[in-house]
């Protein structure tokens, strides 16, 4: 049995279905689905993330519009940019690449995005689920379609990953425990997890003695050290006792981008369930 869950392979399958959705959108609306990406400043990591998103848009047939703005822009000027994109009928999704410069109120900017265009899913009234949380859910369900009653432990409490992932797992009938770096006896909690999602931003935080044999492990962590990428889970150390695990890189990252495209096209969870059943009927992984 293949233990490594390839986020890239799963994302590629989903993008094939999104291509069909994008063609249908173009036919019905007389224009391609449009994603506006707002990039403020010249953060190298952010530029790489945006380029990856633009390439993914091209792959499925979404028109990407990148607004690269100087870091000196003030709050009101950036608000005006968001207002214009909210009113633009050719824009179906708006993504503001984080982080923003320190003089900009990120929360205010994100909450300005109209709910149906907030494809990152971070706004208070958003119509979409956050992309990384969706990615984690789909990765788990790709190897365990029925997670009802499973004990899921989330390590990390950020508003971007940890909390929305816990909420999404709870909505899918898991029993959920949320932990973090300051949790006393962290391993005591993680050892009980049927599904372990780790998003703490700490290299190799989770070791063999902290993982339940047979657990599904989703590693969201990306730690850059001396030019190399490391996850929050000591991958090699736990490989022989888990049932499935995502790699870093090549796990959650590609799926997060696929979920962003899905949100932009208005794909919903029921459609993913349908895709998953078809893949299983066809003998797909």
Residue 277: its pLDDT value, please? 52
Q: Which SS3 state, helix, strand or coil, does residue 197 take?
A: strand
- Distance between first and last Cα of the chain: 11
Distance between CA atoms of residues 274 and 259, nearest Å: 16
Choosing from 97, 118, 194, 203, the catalytic residue is 97
pLDDT recorded at residue 285: 41
The CA distance from 238 to 222, in Å, is 17
Out of 17, 92, 118, 120, the active site residue is 120
Q: Which residue has the tokens 């689905």?
A: 33
C-beta separation of 232 from 221 below 8 A: yes
Which has more pLDDT, 282 or 106? 106
In 3-state terms the chain splits into helix, strand, coil percentages (rounded to 5) of: 45, 15, 40
pLDDT tens digits, 131-145: 999 999 999 999 999
The reported pLDDT for the residue numbered 284 is 44
Q: So what's the architecture of 131-253 in CATH?
A: 3-Layer(aba) Sandwich (3.40)
Per the annotation, the verdict on 118 as an active-site residue is no
Whether 217 shows a pLDDT value over 70: the answer reads yes
Q: Are 8 and 246 in contact (CB under 8 A)?
A: no
The encoded tokens of residue 198 equal 């780790």
| pLDDT of amino acid 276 | 52
Architecture of domain 25-114 in this structure: 3-Layer(aba) Sandwich (3.40)
pLDDT at residue 247, rounded to an integer: 97
Q: Which residue reads 């850059």 in tokens?
A: 224
* Residues whose CB falls within 8 Å of the CB of residue 229, separated by 6 or more in sequence, listed in order: 222, 223, 248, 249
What pLDDT is stored for residue 1 in this prediction?
65
* pLDDT confidence tier of residue 172, bands split at 50, 70 and 90: very high
**Residue ranges of E strands in 201-260:** 216-219, 223-225, 228-230, 244-245
Mention every residue, 6+ apart, whose C-beta is less than 8 A from residue 129: 121, 164, 168, 259, 263, 269
Longest dimension (CA), the chain: 57
Look at residues 143, 128, 144, 147 and name the one whose alpha carbon lies nearest to residue 256.
128
Question: Looking at residue 271, what is its pLDDT?
Answer: 57
Quote the CA–CA distance of 162 and 240 in Å, as a whole number.
26
CA 121 to mean position of chain CA atoms = 10
Please give the Cα distance from 255 to 249 (Å, whole number).
Answer: 11
Given the structure tokens 């950020």, which residue do they identify?
A: 158
Global pTM reads: 0.91
97 catalytic residue (yes or no): yes
- State yes or no: pLDDT of 128 exceeds 70: yes
Mean pLDDT for the chain overall: 93
Name 49's Cβ contacts closer than 8 Å, sequence gap at least 6.
Answer: 97
Mean pLDDT of 79-88: 98
Report the percent of the chain where pLDDT is more than 70. 93
Q: If we measure between CA atoms, which residue out of 29, 24, 4 comes closest to residue 90?
A: 29
How would residue 45 be classed by pLDDT, with cut points 50, 70 and 90?
confident
Residue 53 is a catalytic residue: yes
Q: Are 181 and 203 in contact (CB under 8 A)?
A: no
For Cα atoms 143, 22, 56, give the angle at the middle one, nearest 5 degrees. 65
Active-site pick, 15, 53, 150, 212:
53
d(CA 178, CA 238): 21
Q: What is the pLDDT of residue 124?
A: 86
CATH fold match for the domains 25-114 and 131-253: yes
pLDDT tens, residue by residue, 225-284: 988 999 999 999 999 999 999 999 999 999 999 999 999 999 765 555 555 554 444 444
pLDDT at position 22 over 50: yes
What is the β-pairing status of strands 223-225 and 228-230? Answer: antiparallel
Domains of the chain, residue spans: 25-114, 131-253
Q: Could you count the other beta carbons within 10 Å of the beta carbon of residue 182?
A: 7
Grade residue 11 by pLDDT with cuts at 50, 70 and 90. very high
Find tokens 């992984």 and name the residue: 285
Residue 92 has pLDDT above 50, yes or no: yes
């Amino acid at each position: 049995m293949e233990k490594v869950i390839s986020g890239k392979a799963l994302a590629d399958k989903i993008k094939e279905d999104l291509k069909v959705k994008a063609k249908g959108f173009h036919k019905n609306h007389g224009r391609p689905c449009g994603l506006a990406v707002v990039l403020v400043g010249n953060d190298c990591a952010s530029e790489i993330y945006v380029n990856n998103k633009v390439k993914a848009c091209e792959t499925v047939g979404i028109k990407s519009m990148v607004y690269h703005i100087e870091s000196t822009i003030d709050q009101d000027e950036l608000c005006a940019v968001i207002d214009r994109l909210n009113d633009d009928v050719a824009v179906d999704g708006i993504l503001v690449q984080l982080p923003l410069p320190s003089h900009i109120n990120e929360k205010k900017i994100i909450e300005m995005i109209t709910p149906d265009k907030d494809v990152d899913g971070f706004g208070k009234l958003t119509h979409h689920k956050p992309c990384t949380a969706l990615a984690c859910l789909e990765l788990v369900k790709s190897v365990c379609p029925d997670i009802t009653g499973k004990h899921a432990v989330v390590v990390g409490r950020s508003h971007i990953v940890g909390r929305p992932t816990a909420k999404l797992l709870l909505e899918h009938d898991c029993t959920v425990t949320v932990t973090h770096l300051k949790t006393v006896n962290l391993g005591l909690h993680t050892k009980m997890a049927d599904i372990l999602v780790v998003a703490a931003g700490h290299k190799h935080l989770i070791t063999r003695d902290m993982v339940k044999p047979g657990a599904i492990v989703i590693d969201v962590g990306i730690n850059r050290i001396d030019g190399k990428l490391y996850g929050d889970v000591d991958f090699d150390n736990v490989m022989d006792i888990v049932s499935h695990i995502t790699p870093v890189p090549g796990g959650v990252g590609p799926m997060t981008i696929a979920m962003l495209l899905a949100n932009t096209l208005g794909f919903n969870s029921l459609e993913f369930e349908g895709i998953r059943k078809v893949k299983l009927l066809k003998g797909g992984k």
